[in-house]
Amino acid sequence: MSHHVYRLTEVVGSSPDSIEDAVRTAISKASRTVRNIEWFETKEIRGQVNDGEVAHFQVTLKIGFRVDD
């Protein structure tokens, strides 16, 4: 069994539709430049309110990716 080493970084995804869409947006865009993403952890959820309605969701994620050998 091989040993793995991981790095961590934080990204923020946003969406006018939902928290889930904000997470998916963050992972999708991060995976374009970061290889070997294996997990994420939601750190913070916040949003923007306009005229008493939720206008936008923002989710801060910690992502873990495996360092190449």
**C-alpha–C-alpha distance, residues 23 and 1, integer Å:** 32
Supply the pLDDT for residue 1.
52
3-18 tens-digit pLDDT: 889 999 999 999 999 9
- Closest to 30 (Cα-Cα) out of 63, 67, 66: 63
Q: Which residues constitute the domain of residue 49?
A: 6-64
CATH number for the domain spanning 40: value is 3.30.1660.10
Q: What average pLDDT does range 43-51 have in this prediction?
A: 96
- List the alpha helices (DSSP H) in 1-69: 19-30
Asked if residue 1 is part of any domain, the answer here is no
Q: Is residue 55 part of a domain?
A: yes
Total domains, the chain: 1
How far, in Å, CA of 1 to CA of 63, rounded?
A: 24
pLDDT per position as a tens digit, 34-45? 999 999 999 999
Residue 41 in any domain: the answer is: yes
Give pTM, 2 decimals: 0.85
Structural domain contains residue 69: no
